[in-house]
Chain A
Amino acid sequence: MAPSLEEPTQVDLDAPLKRAPKLVAPEPEHCPGPESQQAGTADSCAGCPNQKICAAAPKGPDPDIPLITARLSSIHHKILVLSGKGGVGKSTFSTMLSHAFAANPDLVVGLMDTDICGPSIPKMMGVEEETIHVSGEGWEPVWVQENLGVMSVQFMLPGRDDAVIWRGAKKNGLIKKFLMEVRWGDVDVLVVDTPPGTSDEHLSVNSFLKTSGVDGAVLVSTPQEVSLLDVRKEIDFCRKAKIPILGIVENMSGFVCPGCKHESQIFRASTGGARRLAEDEKIPFLGAVPLDPRIGMACDFGESFLDAYPDSPACKAITGVVRRVAEEMGMKGIVLGKE
């Protein structure tokens, strides 16, 4: 049988996420999802061994969503950091964003890492060896400094090099647990770092956070078209999922040779880079951050780049971007670091 070339069906973005019923067979390709409204009744369900189980499963919104909403009610602002592409600096930007906000002692900042297969946040924050503390009231995030807390799956792994070989459903379960169990307390800004792509983690974060409200998403890209191509897909995702886009940041744009001060475009913006993309898509362009080898080194050692090199051009660019993010979120006038 020749495979079909029909346009691939997209998932139901509003499907409630709750514990999937226990299935007797793997889900078929066009499965509406065992937790969806049409479970057991859709066209593709005919003949599926799971049909009865799915049809009998309770329908309606996820009963855990109100719990999550209650848990997150003390968080005032939530920012997602997204990019369709990997390795463009989502985690780096997330850490710098958190550090920048936390430079204001009046703000309490949380940073949640939803990249389950490749969590980088603990290393970048210098808290790799930490484990979470479980108390009667929930899981305690790891506090990097007095007003900056971090949560990542890395804290729960027995060995730090262990591979997390999980399918989507299991990852969703963990993200939900993070949102339900972690005791953030009174937090002004929660930064949510995501893995690359437009799949399970993104759908889950979106549906869990929808009722409690997300301020918006910051998209990160590098200047070259190979990367922008994936970021366009992410913009499409945000529009379909109705996540407001705060703007786009261009990372690794330009590199100044320490030898001769000649500026090279390592990742050449042959199609106009993120600035042009932002214009085309009519979303705010938040700024361009140059490639500085010291950023990578600061991340490797778990230090704050902003504290270590406050006078570098990259640092100035980043503070500029953070200020723009704050403006877009309507937090204009808050003090960020030493201004």
Chain B
Amino acid sequence: MPLDNIKNIVLVLSGKGGVGKSSVTTQLALTLSLQGHSVGVLDIDLTGPSIPRFFAIEEEKVRQAPGGWIPVPVHDGQMLAPSRSPSTNGNANGDAAASGTQIGPLSCMSLGFILPNRNDAVIWRGPKKTAMVRQFLTDVLWPPLDYLLIDTPPGTSDEHISLLETLLKSTSTPGAPPNQLAGAVVVTTPQAVSISDVKKELNFCKKTGIRVLGVIENMAGFVCPNCSECTNVFSKGGGEVMAREFEVGFLGSVAVDPMFVRLVEEGERPLYPKGTVVEGKTMVERGDGAVEGSKEGFLVDKYRDCSLAPLFDGIVRRLVEDIRSRD
């Protein structure tokens, strides 16, 4: 089975669309890679694949090899030069950054790499989607991976049913690594409209027996880049309350960072107003010798300067610890 050399599979789910499943998947993948793990990302959103855009590899095409498809590489495992961000408070990231960071390889697979034209609609009914999801799970030749993240479309329908059917079958075969299907990270936004849909997704996990690794509350608050005042654009705290109600872990609240949007949209290295400190780490400031709108470097390198990176560093550390304790 092509999934045999994957140690852990993590699903990213949400009942609601546009809450940031792909954005969270991207950041989890980049952070895992920064922590030295080898990572693969599988995008099974067939009618609206966003992963190629997030990793800035929209122009790439999938290559075919005997026996299957070769995923599109984002970067190879390598030593990354020390980050320019002046790290303080001696947190784990700071020490590693001083001597450079060993990053793990990262590759992606998405229907976006197969479509001839990026604007074409994929108008498929259920059976066709089911077949495609199954093919993605069985015919992709992943390199040996520590983590495979699977980004899903919103809802609890065809893609999800076939994903779980196939995964539950393949991970229970004797050849599969133990506890291969680690569980699901559920993403929500704080407002009640989103929470009510995501509750359905948590019930879906319960019904199908998928362990919920935790809930991430995305788009909780927006920090004005001008005056640093935080506004709760989509209210706040709903994710944590929901996690408590369903007795699942709460991984953290993630604010909206326009610099992250800019990094994804235009590939610009994030820069912050003077004095921005996130999780005890001072962010790279404007006019601090840093070039405004620099697009140089790997995505993963630029991501280190994003204010969300320290946040995800903590989230991923907790996730990895949790997953390891079960192995």
Are A91 and B193 in contact, with the CB atoms below 8 A?
yes
Ranked nearest first, the 4 interchain pairs of A and B with the lowest CB-CB distance are A86-B17, A87-B18, A168-B126, A259-B229
| Stretch among B92-100, B231-239, B299-307, B318-326 lining the A interface | B231-239
Smallest CB-CB separation from A199: which chain B residue?
Answer: B47
Shortest CB-to-CB span from B15 to chain A, Å, is 5
Interface hub of A128, A271, A291 (most chain B Cβ within 10 A): A291
Confirm or deny: B261 has a beta carbon within 8 angstroms of a beta carbon on chain A: yes
Are A3 and B68 in contact, with the CB atoms below 8 A?
yes
In the complex, A116 Cα to B197 Cα: how many Å? 11
Are A226 and B157 in contact, with the CB atoms below 8 A?
no
In the complex, A222 Cα to B265 Cα: how many Å? 13
A165 in complex: contacting residue of B118, B123, B197, B204, CB < 8 Å? B204
Q: A87-B154, A165-B156, A259-B229 are in contact. List 9 more A-B contacts (CB 8 A).
A: A11-B123, A86-B18, A160-B196, A167-B130, A168-B158, A222-B18, A236-B120, A262-B225, A293-B232
Smallest CB-CB separation from B208: which chain A residue?
Answer: A165
Beyond A168-B126, A198-B123, is A262–B139 a contact (Cβ under 8 Å)?
no
Are A120 and B193 in contact, with the CB atoms below 8 A?
yes
Beyond A8-B114, A224-B265, is A297–B235 a contact (Cβ under 8 Å)?
yes
8 A Cβ contacts from B14-67 to A = 15-19, 22, 47-48, 50, 53-54, 62, 64-67
Beyond A118-B200, A224-B261, is A197–B153 a contact (Cβ under 8 Å)?
yes
Residues of A within 8 A of B266 (CB): 268, 270
| Stretch among A23-31, A98-106, A129-137, A211-219 lining the B interface | A23-31
8 A Cβ contacts from A133-155 to B = none
Beyond A88-B18, A199-B47, is A232–B119 a contact (Cβ under 8 Å)?
yes
Smallest CB-CB separation from A91: which chain B residue?
Answer: B193
Are B65 and A33 in contact, with the CB atoms below 8 A?
no
* 9 A-B pairs in the complex with CB atoms less than 8 angstroms apart: A11-B128, A84-B48, A163-B15, A237-B121, A241-B123, A255-B231, A266-B233, A296-B233, A296-B235
Are B116 and A260 in contact, with the CB atoms below 8 A?
no
Confirm or deny: B160 has a beta carbon within 8 angstroms of a beta carbon on chain A: yes
Are A161 and B203 in contact, with the CB atoms below 8 A?
yes
A293 in complex: contacting residue of B153, B224, B235, B262, CB < 8 Å? B235
Are A163 and B234 in contact, with the CB atoms below 8 A?
no
Beyond A167-B157, A167-B161, A200-B125, is A85–B193 a contact (Cβ under 8 Å)?
no
B156 in complex: contacting residue of A163, A203, A237, CB < 8 Å? A163
In the complex, A125 Cα to B193 Cα: how many Å? 11
Smallest CB-CB separation from B127: which chain A residue?
Answer: A27
In the complex, A176 Cα to B56 Cα: how many Å? 41
B189 in complex: contacting residue of A87, A230, A258, CB < 8 Å? A87
Are B64 and A5 in contact, with the CB atoms below 8 A?
yes
Beyond A257-B229, A270-B265, A300-B193, is A264–B258 a contact (Cβ under 8 Å)?
yes
In the complex, A230 Cα to B20 Cα: how many Å? 14
Smallest CB-CB separation from B204: which chain A residue?
Answer: A163
A229 in complex: contacting residue of B50, B65, B123, B235, CB < 8 Å? B50
In the complex, A163 Cα to B196 Cα: how many Å? 10
B114 in complex: contacting residue of A2, A5, A84, CB < 8 Å? A5
Are A5 and B233 in contact, with the CB atoms below 8 A?
no
| Residues of B in contact with A, size category | 35 or more
Confirm or deny: B264 has a beta carbon within 8 angstroms of a beta carbon on chain A: yes
Are A264 and B156 in contact, with the CB atoms below 8 A?
no
Residues of A within 8 A of B16 (CB): 86-87, 118, 120
Confirm or deny: A73 has a beta carbon within 8 angstroms of a beta carbon on chain B: no
Shortest CB-to-CB span from A179 to chain B, Å, is 18
Are B222 and A163 in contact, with the CB atoms below 8 A?
no
In the complex, A196 Cα to B157 Cα: how many Å? 12
Are A123 and B47 in contact, with the CB atoms below 8 A?
no
Are B126 and A200 in contact, with the CB atoms below 8 A?
yes
Confirm or deny: A13 has a beta carbon within 8 angstroms of a beta carbon on chain B: yes
Beyond A29-B127, A232-B119, A268-B265, is A257–B224 a contact (Cβ under 8 Å)?
yes
Are B50 and A262 in contact, with the CB atoms below 8 A?
no
B229 in complex: contacting residue of A118, A164, A260, A291, CB < 8 Å? A260
Smallest CB-CB separation from B112: which chain A residue?
Answer: A229
Are A268 and B261 in contact, with the CB atoms below 8 A?
yes
Confirm or deny: B277 has a beta carbon within 8 angstroms of a beta carbon on chain A: no
Q: Mark B254-287, 1 if CB is under 8 A from A, else 0.
A: 0010100110111000000000000000000000
Are A240 and B121 in contact, with the CB atoms below 8 A?
yes
Shortest CB-to-CB span from B325 to chain A, Å, is 28
Residues of A within 8 A of B169 (CB): none
Residues of B within 8 A of A116 (CB): 157
Residues of B within 8 A of A120 (CB): 16, 193, 196-197
Confirm or deny: A71 has a beta carbon within 8 angstroms of a beta carbon on chain B: no
Residues of A within 8 A of B235 (CB): 293, 296-297, 300
Are B48 and A168 in contact, with the CB atoms below 8 A?
no
Smallest CB-CB separation from B139: which chain A residue?
Answer: A3
Residues of A within 8 A of B54 (CB): 226
Residues of A within 8 A of B114 (CB): 5, 8
